[in-house]
Amino acid sequence: MTRTHASAIALAFATLFAGQAMAADTGSPITRAQVSVELAEAIRTGNVIAGESSTKLNEEFPHNYPAQRVSSTVTRAQVQAERAEAIRTGNIMVGESGAKLNEVFPHDYYAQQSVASTSREQVQAELAEAIRSGQVGAHIEA
């Protein structure tokens, strides 16, 4: 066992004992067996602080520990909808260049339209004001 591992285990035990002393004061329902199980799991997964660097062992040595499971909050249907929208608009990376399809082939994709910040009523009011002030003719032919 390396010096770092020994230090991490000693730190974990010190934290365990300090935690038990604080838990005894507050009347926490966690038993000694539960804490021992939690400590063993933390050591197994590397969720123990490594020395004075305040990083965890699984962050310093990720190849020595199993990968942490991360749960997603996005549904499969949402991901598929986002992917379909990205394909439709060309927001997909091309190769290793980092450029997107709509940047490499702009003629194949419509320009991204920004959302209007004015309402329909505001536009109509502005048009009526422009017609009244003579800035725009009342009869515009297309």
The residues, any chain, with a CB within 8 Å of residue 103's CB and separated by 6 or more, are: 90
Strands (E), the chain: 49-50, 55-56
Beta-ladder partners of 49: 56
Cα-atom radius of gyration of the chain, to the nearest Å? Answer: 31
**Which strand (E) or helix (H) includes residue 100?**
none
For the chain, 142 residues long, give each residue's pLDDT as a single digit of tens. Answer: 577 776 767 767 677 666 555 545 555 688 999 999 999 998 888 888 877 878 888 888 888 887 777 778 889 999 999 999 998 888 898 888 888 988 888 888 876 555 667 888 998 999 889 888 888 766 655 4
72: its two tokens? 């997603």
* DSSP H helix total and E strand total for the chain: 6, 2
Cβ atoms of 47 and 69 closer than 8 Å: no
Cβ atoms of 56 and 47 closer than 8 Å: yes
The full set of domain ranges for the chain reads 3-64, 76-133
